[in-house]
Amino acid sequence: MERWRTALGADAVPWLLEAEDPAVQAATLRHLLDTPDDDPALTSARVAMASDGVVGRILATQGPGGHWGERDAFYRDKYRGTVWQLVTLAALGADGADPRVRAGCEAVLEDAQDRESGGFAVDRARSTSGGRHSEVIPCLTGNLVWALVTFGMLDDARVRRGARARCRPARTTRSPSPRPPRRRAPPPRARP
């Protein structure tokens, strides 16, 4: 920890602890000062996160069914949809036991997780529940598995399926398109 203080030329800890956002206070206590989980200051900051600062604002905008934004835009509504809000909440240290966080987790497990592979897709399968199999992507699967585990859901069988899906090779089947790849035309020759 001393290296960053030396590089900074100052001790930013007092300033971070005075921050108006309780998520900053909690992260400072936990990650910079190695404060034990049962410390009253850390507990207080974590409780305040649920209603104040960035975490509180994100949770306040959650809609019915645990979604942020439109249900079908959980991934495509970049940085506003359910996927992105959950990843942000996990990174900020939101409490996975909070009923609003848990509702968001259930929403992505219901709408984004492919029932066949366990991976997470960018679109919902409308004819069945879960994510569309042909639109499962490794980075989304990795991000959501990380967020769900961060929220304490490692023992959930659906999360374990997602983790197993992410550990398999990214391409186990042929491309869904039967067309061969397009050839690029050679660049035009310069005229003398």
Are 98 and 159 part of one and the same domain? yes
CA 129/CA 106 separation, integer angstroms: 12
Within a domain: residue 99? Answer: yes
Question: What digits encode the pLDDT tens for the residues 80-139?
Answer: 999 999 999 999 999 999 999 999 999 999 999 999 999 999 999 987 789 999 999 999
Find tokens 């905008």 and name the residue: 61
Are 70 and 145 part of one and the same domain? yes
Question: What digits encode the pLDDT tens for the residues 18-52?
Answer: 989 999 999 999 999 999 999 999 999 999 999 99
Are 66 and 157 part of one and the same domain? yes
Within a domain: residue 166? Answer: yes
Within a domain: residue 88? Answer: yes
Are 111 and 147 part of one and the same domain? yes
Residue 91 sits at the vertex; the CA angle it makes with 38 and 102, to the nearest 5 degrees, is 75
Are 16 and 104 part of one and the same domain? no
Within a domain: residue 186? Answer: no
Are 62 and 102 part of one and the same domain? yes
Are 136 and 67 part of one and the same domain? yes
pLDDT band with cut points at 50, 70 and 90 for residue 168: confident
Q: How many folded domains does the chain comprise? A: 2
Note whether 134 and 119 are within 8 A (CB): no
Task: Give the range of the structural domain holding residue 111, as residue numbers without chain letter.
Answer: 54-170
Are 65 and 159 part of one and the same domain? yes
Question: What digits encode the pLDDT tens for the residues 74-97?
Answer: 999 999 999 999 999 999 999 999
Are 45 and 59 part of one and the same domain? no
Within a domain: residue 188? Answer: no
Are 22 and 96 part of one and the same domain? no
Are 40 and 103 part of one and the same domain? no
Within a domain: residue 142? Answer: yes
Within a domain: residue 81? Answer: yes
Token couple for 161: 């399926």
Are 20 and 63 part of one and the same domain? no
Token couple for 59: 């949770």
Overall pTM surpassing 0.85 (yes/no): no
